Chains A and B, each alone.
Chain A
Amino acid sequence: MTATIDPALQTAALAALETAINQALALAPGSREQLARLGDCVFALHCTAPPVDAFLMPGRDRVRLLGVYEGPVTTSVRGVASDFAELATARDPAASLINGRLELHGDSAPLLELQKILAGLEVDWEAPLVDTLGDVAGHQLAQLLRGAWGWGRQASSSLGRQLEEFIHEEARLSPPRLELEDFYKDVQALGLRVDRLESRTRRLRKRLQQLRA
């Protein structure tokens, strides 16, 4: 629990977020079924800036978001808000967890599964629209929304890819991820060789001192 935020404010924010997630899940039956598989899991999300703790508990047909939970948790993640945002939107969440700044305790597999489900939410707009507007208008509007949703996703993913390509290849503002990973590997290998060399030098120095004595 954080002492700085009024518990009523934090609880209200979590309640609003919980309602939004559950409404989206109500329109995405496929994702809801997948989420039910994580029914026994409790995810602790400790955000250090802003200081907020939240506990996410997936259930059979809804998720619960709590500010206080005292039982055992499956996975605990700690970091700042931007790290959580990065994980939530990552195309490769495993790499984001390994290379990111989030501190993780417990089982990472259910967390990756949760990220995959929430990131790939397939919202079915048609049922509530048909109920409200009737078959013809509801179907037309649902198709429009489906198209806009799909286009938005595709456009954002394509924009991300193109931006990445521009930064790495055209403007050369930063090295590509693979190049950077190779560099890190080289640095790590060099570090190990230096360690080995240092211990060998220490051993030789010790032997020399013994011979002199």
Chain B
Amino acid sequence: MSDKERTHFGFKEVDKEAKASMVADVFHSVASRYDLMNDLMSAGIHRIWKRFTIELSGVRKGHSVLDIAGGTGDLAARFADIVGPEGAVVLADINESMLKVGRDKLLDSGHLGNLEFVQADAQYLPFPDDSFDCITIAFGLRNVTDKDKALRSMLRVLKPGGRLLVLEFSKPQNALLSKAYDAYSFKVLPVMGRLVANDSDSYQYLAESIRVHPDQETLKEMMEDAGFTRCEYHNMTGGVVALHKGIKA
């Protein structure tokens, strides 16, 4: 029997060491169609969830912002506009393909000067202590192998008084909505993935990974355990998505 530590990969249990490369394969596969699939799967609502995240970030001119698992750069682009030339935004992603798509998209849309692109693992952030006024991670935490380690790493690089925002799928608060959401996730999403991105497995993983991700209260406790204070969350779209906020004391 293996004495290696185990973790979730969707509904499967896998070695902790293997998860990162399995997640990487998923994102290598979906990177080129990521934005299109996001718009199709959420009917564009992911833009509203991200917009609320930006509002709650309190980011202003001159701030430094780290967007972890920044993917195709939706949040980073908006932050770069807000912080202006006096500020700095770092778009970090562990996945090379996603980072490349994000970098090309942002440079093509004229975002440069105050933006950096870093390939980094959320568990071992390669930045000095107390570096950022705000850290965001949108739809990325559930893919991280050791979430507690990642939260502690984020706390370390956040400036005192800075805030972490975790935007992630969560647990619907209404039983009826929950049933409809389950049916949509397991029946419609993989089919949509097969038709549009020619990859149903990755979207099956997406649906499964959401179900094994900690619910609202558990994630709040994890953030408090990591050392964040004044932790709170906002349910959006009936709890399908939750935005958690924590402050570094």
Q: Interface on A for B, CB 8 Å cutoff?
A: 6-8, 11-12, 15, 66-71
Question: What are the 4 tightest A-B residue pairs by CB atom distance, in nearest-first order?
Answer: A8-B236, A68-B55, A11-B52, A70-B58
A6, A8, A68: the one within 8 Å of B56 (CB): A68
Residue contact A11 to B235, C-beta cutoff 8 Å: no
B55 touches A8 (CB 8 A): no
- Bound-state CA distance A78–B138 (Å) is 34
Contacts A12-B48, A15-B48, A15-B51 known; A7 to B234 CB distance under 8 Å?
yes
List chain B positions with a Cβ less than 8 A from chain A: 45, 47-49, 51-52, 55-56, 58, 60, 234-238, 241, 243
Chain A residues within an 8 Å CB radius of B45: 8, 12
A12 and chain B: residue at smallest CB distance: B48
Q: How far is the CA of A15 from the CA of B55 in the complex (A)?
A: 12
Residues of A within 8 A of B52 (CB): 7-8, 11, 67-68
Additional A-B contacts beyond A8-B48, A8-B236, A12-B45 (8; CB < 8 A): A8-B49, A8-B237, A8-B241, A11-B52, A15-B48, A67-B55, A68-B56, A70-B58
- Would you give 26 A-B contacts (Cβ < 8 Å), ordered by A? A6-B235, A6-B236, A6-B237, A6-B238, A7-B52, A7-B234, A7-B235, A7-B236, A7-B243, A8-B45, A8-B48, A8-B52, A8-B241, A11-B48, A11-B55, A12-B45, A15-B47, A15-B48, A15-B51, A66-B55, A67-B55, A68-B52, A68-B56, A70-B58, A71-B58, A71-B60
Compute the total of residue contacts between A and B using a CB distance below 8 Å.
35
Closest Cβ of chain A: how far from B195's Cβ, in Å?
27
Query: For residue B55, which residues in chain A have a CB less than 8 angstroms away from its CB?
Result: 11, 66-69
Secondary structure call for the B interface: helix
Residues of B within 8 A of A6 (CB): 235-238
Smallest CB-CB separation from B51: which chain A residue?
Answer: A11
A69 to B59, CA, bound (A): 10
Which residue of A has the minimal Cβ distance to B55?
Answer: A68
Shortest beta-carbon distance from A11 to chain B in Å = 5
**What is the CB-to-nearest-CB distance from A46 to chain B, in angstroms, rounded to a whole number?**
16
CA distance A6 to B45 in the complex (A): 13
B contact residues around A11 at 8 Å (CB):
48, 51-52, 55
Chain A residues positioned under 8 Å from B237 (CB to CB): 6, 8
Q: Which of B51, B235, B236, B241 gathers the greatest number of chain A CB atoms within 10 Å?
A: B51
| A68–B52 CA distance with the chains assembled, in angstroms | 8
Minimum C-beta distance from A65 to chain B (A): 10
Name the residue on A nearest B44 (C-beta): A12
CA distance A212 to B47 in the complex (A): 83
Closest-by-CB residue of B relative to A11 is: B52
**Residues from chain A with Cβ under 8 Å of B241 in the complex:** 8
Contacting residues, chain B, for A67 (C-beta < 8 A): 52, 55
CA distance A67 to B54 in the complex (A): 11
Across-interface contacts of B60 in A (CB, < 8 A): 71
CB contacts (< 8 Å) of A70 on chain B: these are 58
Minimal Cβ-Cβ distance residue in A for B54: A66
CA distance A71 to B55 in the complex (A): 11
Complex Cα–Cα for A141 and B132 (A)? 53
Docked complex Cα distance between A12 and B43 (Å): 13
User: Whose C-beta in chain A lies nearest to the C-beta of B235?
Assistant: A6
A contact residues around B243 at 8 Å (CB): 7
Most buried by B among A11, A66, A70: A11
**Chain B's nearest CB lies how many Å from the CB of A166?**
46
| CB-nearest residue of chain A to B60 | A71
Please, how many angstroms separate the alpha-carbon atoms of A68 and B59 in the complex? 11
Cβ contacts under 8 Å, A8 to chain B: 45, 48-49, 52, 236-237, 241
